[in-house]
Amino acid sequence: MQIHFRPDADPASHRLLAGIVEGERLPDGIEPVLAEAARAARFAGKAGQLSEGFVEREGRVVRVALAGAGGPAEEREASLERAGAALAARFATSGEEQLALMAEGLSGEDIAAVLSGLVLRAWRYDVHRTRLKDEQKVSLNQITVLAAPEGAEAAWDEARALVEGVLFARELVAEPANIIYPESFVERCRERFDGTGVEFTVLGEAEMRELGMGALLGVSQGSVREAQILAIRWNGGAGNGSDDTAPLCFVGKGVTFDTGGISIKPAAGMEDMKWDMGGAAAVAGAMLAIAGREAKANVVGICGLVENMPDAAAQRPGDIVTSMSGQTIEVINTDAEGRLVLCDAISWAQREFKPSAIVDLATLTGAMIIALGTEHGGLFANDDALANDLLAAGQATGDRLWRFPLGPAYDKLIDSPIADMKNVGPRGGGSITAAQFIQRFVEDGTPWAHCDIAGMVWADKPGATWDKGATGYGVRLIDRLVRERAEKSPQNSAFR
């Protein structure tokens, strides 16, 4: 999508014009036919509401759309994004190629929010669709902001970095498992991060074997695709004279396809398991956004990448593996594989980067979908300040979280009679016992949070700023946490 800014407000050369309406008051001087169309459609300026009509201006027929951005009591940024998203939902495949956005009364940050919603909602991944009809193809490719105030372009430049991170995460999640597997995930990231200034570290199976990552390698041993660990490091703290500051570390579960292994999943719906790498995609997308906006922070994103397949070499229920930490695990269910990937990735993160805090993101348990549906991700943490920062970040960005408990009563449910622990507990509290498992690999004194985002990375119906399919959940959550926890001093954090 091409975005252009013009300081003048002359709409004469544009066929499709759009205005943003806050509250019920229509713009001054609007033609009676447009006002009547709005009344007939019961348009009240609610966030995401749309009204449109045609008028004649200077001998030309002009299409005019009004997008609602809600009232003063509503969260402004989210409401403006929904206004932009409503324009995309209506016009992305309408045959219109250009849209002129009238910016009178909007600040630069307001315009950035509208454009963010518009670009996010217009995104489609049609790379593999070769027989789309013309009316199904995305036609809208250019937005011109008229009467753009000073600072609008700079505000959009920063917002665009975050939008591109969200779209990259969606791209990774949308791709099928024969396209995105551990090694190709790494290569796709190399291509997208070229020139951004990040440092890449990649571990193959030989390096992981030397490090003793028996838990992660146990998941991978049934696949012909070699497992990988990808670390993306952004040293932006150097800009503040703090290049030696311990980094914030984000760890993503990257199971690029999950059959369940020998504990195989039902066939119906198994194709959805291409998105079991949604945590790793969120981490990669967030790191692209952080590098793109040149964040004044030290951040590391780690993606544990494996494929869980059921061939003759696959691990069996009852096998015992030794993790990098030295702790032994009885594998009761090979479909509880994400925690086996995360535990070794987290151990390596602590040894290699000595982070100030660790947050992991994973499409980990079906139990989380039962508990929260697709409205919130689940949050578990050993540190109240980190948990509160994440809850606030989720509320601010729309990537919402809901906190769950941890405790000794849940922890003992994963004790094993023949190993240090087993990888699943009883049916009840499945998401909690999964979090308790991961916590056993977090070193004392390290703030840690686990985000179970199983219901959030893929949508069966359109949402506020996404169509059906990959949502990009988690990218904005991570980016906001970095802004508030790392780029601001802890004493001045807006979240405390």
Q: Which residues are identified as catalytic?
A: 265, 339
Which amino acid, 169? Answer: A
Nearest CA among 109, 98, 99, 100 for reference residue 149: 109
Collapsing DSSP states into helix, strand and coil, what is residue 135? helix
Q: Is 102 helix (H, G, I), strand (E, B) or coil?
A: strand
In the three-class reduction of DSSP (H, G, I as helix; E, B as strand; rest coil), residue 83 is classed as helix
DSSP secondary structure code for residue 415 in this structure: -
Measured from the Cβ of residue 356, the count of other Cβ atoms closer than 10 Å reads 17
Show the 3-state SS of 309-357: CCCCCCCCCCCEEECCCCCEEECCCCCCCHHHHHHHHHHHHHHHHCCCE
Structure token digits, residue 159 = 């917002």
> In this structure, are strands 421-422 and 328-330 parallel, antiparallel, or unpaired?
parallel
Quickly count: other Cβ atoms within 10 Å of residue 316's Cβ. Answer: 12
Nearest Cα neighbor of 79 from 104, 101, 47, 51 is 47
Contact 18, 101 (CB under 8 A): yes
Cβ 376 vs Cβ 401: under 8 Å: yes
CA distance 401 to 495: 15
Residue with tokens 């012909």: 224
For every residue of 416-460, DSSP letters joined together read -SSSSEES---STTHHHHHHHHHHTTSPTT--EEEEE-TTTSEES
State the Cα–Cα distance between residues 232 and 340, nearest whole angstrom: 21
Residue 266: half-sphere exposure toward Cβ, Cα within 13 Å: 2
Pick the closest to residue 315 from 336, 297, 295 (CA basis).
Answer: 336
Report the alpha-carbon angle 481-487-488, nearest 5.
95
Extract long-range pairs of 458-463: CB within 8 Å, 24+ residues apart: 458/173, 458/272, 458/275, 458/278, 459/374, 462/89
Query: Which pair of structure tokens corresponds to residue 321?
Result: 């593996």
Residues in contact with 224: Cβ distance below 8 Å, sequence separation at least 6, in sequence order? 309, 311
Q: Which two tokens stand for residue 130?
A: 């070769």
